[in-house]
Amino acid sequence: MPGSLDLERALVIGVASSALFDLSESDAVFRNEGEEKYRAYQRDHLDDVLEPGIAFPFIRRLLDLNDLSEDERLVEVVILSRNDPETGMRVMRSVQRHGLDITRAIFMQGRAPYRFMGPLSMSLFLSANEDDVREAISLGFAAGRVVGRAVPDDGGTDLRIAFDFDGVLADDSAERVFQSEGLDGYQESESALAEVPLSRGPMADFLEKINRIQRIEDSKSVGDPSGYRRRVHVAVVTARSAPAHERAINSIGQWGLRVNDAFFLGGIDKGPILEVLRPHIFFDDQRRHVEGAALSTPSVHIPFGELNGVREAELDGRLNRDKP
């Protein structure tokens, strides 16, 4: 595997065991029979491999991108778990049995481990625990709750990622205009500000790290223009439409970021589009969009912005910093 890990350069992700694996059976034991029965259940099933969860195909494909560099580790995934170390052993054994290149973990009995995102320079925390995700967001970290059901992993190496724009890649300032002034006021404002970039949102740092990996793929394609097949593909799927599309495109470019595709749907249901696009993960800040998409697509709710009860003043400034 690739060599040195530089936390500042690598894409570092924290994933709860609830996002990576299907924990429905053990969670039912915990809820219905209490902690001691849960601990006994995990000991008795220590060598029973956990089934893949919602984020499993996404995480596996991310980790596989490490083969693009022999000199450095491009992606690092760390287990962040509320389990204690003993009950967490089953998680780590399942990681090993599934062949996932995950060796780092933080187990904190009954406590939220997302507080360690900062020291580990994490760009994202995924969990099925909504309270943990909301608390992480309120502290200025990028975090999302996995929604829906696990889909079969076909074992491929391509990685397709889809983002909503407002409240995900960008802040929610334009959404607040829409809520206060309606569609006409929103369109007028976005047209007037078409050349003014929005502030970066919670997932912009994640996209920046993905773009770095894409640039490595660019160099491989230049060296082998007829033979190299790019693996990472990024799309924006947004309810914006013309003329508001211009500010979205200009913002992404002025942040120094890029996407491969953009779908400006003007309020059309995103679900059928995502069924055709088939991303391995889709990020959106609006619960109704996520729940519709999750019927066919592994989805993540990013509870960012006033629509989700998080005011901008509560957020750490690093989410809203603009980078050249």
The whole-model pTM stands at 0.92
3-state secondary structure the chain: CCCECCCCCCEEEEECHHHHECCHHHHHHHHHHCHHHHHHHHHHCCCCCCCECCCHHHHHHHHHHHHHCCCECCEEEEEEECCCHHHHHHHHHHHHHCCCCCCEEEECCCCCHHHHCCCCCCCEEEECCHHHHHHHHHCCCCEEEEECCCCCCCCCCCEEEEECCECCCECCHHHHHHHHHHHHHHHHHHHHCCCCCCCECCCHHHHHHHHHHHHHHHHHHHHCCCCCCCCEEEEEEECCCCCCHHHHHHHHHHCCCCCCEEEECCCCCHHHHHHHHCCCEEEECCHHHHHHHCCCCCEEECCCCHHHCCCHHHCCHHHCCCCC
pLDDT in tens, 1-36: 447 899 999 999 999 999 999 988 888 988 898 888
User: 11-147 and 159-319 share one CATH topology?
Assistant: yes
* 158 residue type, one letter: D
Considering the domain 159-319 in this protein, what is its CATH number? 3.40.50
Segments making up each domain of the chain, as ranges: 11-147, 159-319
Nearest to 213 by CA among 20, 104, 61, 56: 61
Write the class of the CATH domain 11-147.
alpha beta
Whether 132 is catalytic is no
- Residue 41 has a pLDDT of 87
CA 89 to chain centre: 25
Catalytic residue among 132, 164, 171, 284: 164
- What is the full per-residue pLDDT of the chain (324 aa) written as tens digits? 447 899 999 999 999 999 999 988 888 988 898 888 888 888 899 999 999 999 999 999 999 999 999 999 999 999 999 888 988 899 999 999 999 999 999 999 888 888 899 999 999 999 999 999 999 998 899 999 999 888 888 889 999 999 999 999 999 999 899 888 988 899 999 999 999 999 999 999 999 999 999 999 999 988 787 788 999 999 999 999 999 999 999 999 999 999 999 999 999 999 999 999 999 999 999 998 999 999 999 999 999 988 777 654 444 444 443 333
Q: Residue 39's CB: how many other CB atoms inside 10 A?
A: 16
Q: What is the pLDDT of residue 320?
A: 41
